[in-house]
Amino acid sequence: MQSSTSQILSIVRTSHKAAAKLAQVSGSQRRRGVRMLAEAMESSFDEILEANTLDLEMSREMAISEPIIDWLKLTPERLEMTVSILKQLSKSADPTRRLINAPYQLEPSQTYCQLIPLGTIALVYEAFPELAAIAAGICLKTGNSLITRGCSSASNSNQTIAAILKKALAATDLPLGSVENISPDLGISIPELVTQDRYLNLVIPYGRPSLVQQVAEQATATVLRTTMGNCYLYWSVSGNLDLIRQAIVDSHDSEPDAVNAIEKVLIHKNAKPSVLQSLFNNLQQQGFHLRGDEMLVEEFPEYLRLASSEEWRRPYLRKVVAFRYVEDLSQAVSWINRYSSGHADCIVTESYQESRQFVQEIDSALVYINTSPRFSRNPDGGENVFLGMSNQKGYRQGLISVETFTTIKQVVQG
């Protein structure tokens, strides 16, 4: 039996060679490959859902937490969305054919930039079985190879989807090893994978903060941190109650992972008690559990439970929202920059000046003004496809799109 060291080396070398070949494959060939993935997934719903049922039964026996079970549970709708995303990718333009004017020119030459693939990408993910198919589509579209490593609680679903993807690619002329899967059953640990920086060009951890932090600390390859939850909203004294309610509720409606869920709300100290009571009552009726700081809990004990100091920097990843009084916008900005996850924060205000100050001073990847920050992987069925969100200041931050899987080659034409 092969050791885990020899197994991982074999997998990453195969994937690395496939990436070199994929970079030379035409955009039309890669487009056909993505379409084959979509067709294979679309014809395999029953097989995937059957495997997923086994995972759900095992997870409940093992007392896996509810958020993970929600992430794990596949439905026909989730699979249909996955197929829709893959079909959209197969129709969109080849990003690696895109030329960009260089910000400088070297006389007497002409200088331009071209998007090119990164190489080999590893996705380490928790539950979310369909993520493997979406990531595979994005990687093929951009000329990258992919190695997926899921969690043991989704083992049957992940292996079934991996087998479907590999079978679909075997019917194409794309290189073997374009999409590889590492099952936890192989005995290959996450650190063994993410330290293969000789062959990996990017590692993407997707799941709870503990998983993302673990991968970020252990990896020797470049890491693109993903993040979800713990988004803040500042409710200005001029902010509209209905808009506040809509933004909170809508941000939690992104299934299965409410990436941009508003979990913390900072309220201007002059907010009217009757307005707050109306909001709290409405949210409770819609199944939300509410927390608050000491002042708000004392004022509304029938609605709020006291939030601990650690809760302000930690995502709940379920329908929980905590509220806190602040003196003004400046205090709100300071608090958000200290405690928010830093990927999507909001303001509801009728003041243009306040909105401009918020945009300039908030240290977040995305800022929303008077609108819900709800996340969608394929918003409105348009051309854009997003894997997730990142809050890091390094490689990329903000929406993880197709372009995130590319880098730039600069060309000087004499």
**pLDDT tens digits, one per residue of 304-333:** 999 999 999 999 999 999 999 999 999 999
Angle, alpha carbons 263-269-275 (nearest 5°): 70
Residue 383, in any domain of the structure: no
Comparing CA positions, the residue from 114, 164, 157, 156 lying closest to residue 136 is 164
**pLDDT tens digits, one per residue of 29-56:** 999 999 999 999 999 999 999 999 999 9
Comparing CA positions, the residue from 262, 227, 215, 188 lying closest to residue 365 is 227
Say whether both 154 and 235 belong to one domain.
no
Say whether both 260 and 187 belong to one domain.
no
Residue 359, in any domain of the structure: yes
Q: Going residue by residue through the chain (414 aa), what tens digit of pLDDT does each one get? A: 467 888 999 999 999 999 999 999 999 999 999 999 999 999 999 999 999 999 999 998 888 888 889 999 999 999 999 999 999 999 998 988 888 877 777 777 888 888 999 999 999 999 999 999 999 999 999 999 999 999 999 999 999 999 999 999 999 999 989 999 999 888 899 999 999 999 999 999 999 999 999 999 999 999 999 999 999 999 999 999 999 999 999 999 987 889 999 999 999 999 999 999 999 999 999 999 999 999 999 999 999 999 999 999 999 999 999 999 999 999 999 999 999 999 999 999 999 999 999 999 999 999 999 999 999 998 875 678 999 999 988 778 899 999 999 998 988 888
Say whether both 118 and 235 belong to one domain.
no
Say whether both 90 and 191 belong to one domain.
yes
Say whether both 282 and 409 belong to one domain.
no
Residue 381, in any domain of the structure: no
Q: Which residues contact 249 (CB under 8 A, 6 or more apart)?
A: 283, 286
Say whether both 236 and 220 belong to one domain.
no
Residue 277, in any domain of the structure: yes
CATH classification of the domain holding 238: 3.40.309.10
Residue 385, in any domain of the structure: no
Say whether both 135 and 248 belong to one domain.
no
Say whether both 164 and 49 belong to one domain.
yes
Say whether both 216 and 339 belong to one domain.
no
Residue 378, in any domain of the structure: no
Report the domain count for the chain: 2
401 in Cβ contact with 379 (< 8 Å): no
Give the integer Cα–Cα distance in Å for 26 and 34: 13
CATH classification of the domain holding 26: 3.40.605.10
Residue 376, in any domain of the structure: no
Residue 196, in any domain of the structure: yes
Say whether both 80 and 105 belong to one domain.
yes
Say whether both 132 and 45 belong to one domain.
yes
| Residue 94 domain boundaries | 4-225+392-413
Say whether both 146 and 189 belong to one domain.
yes
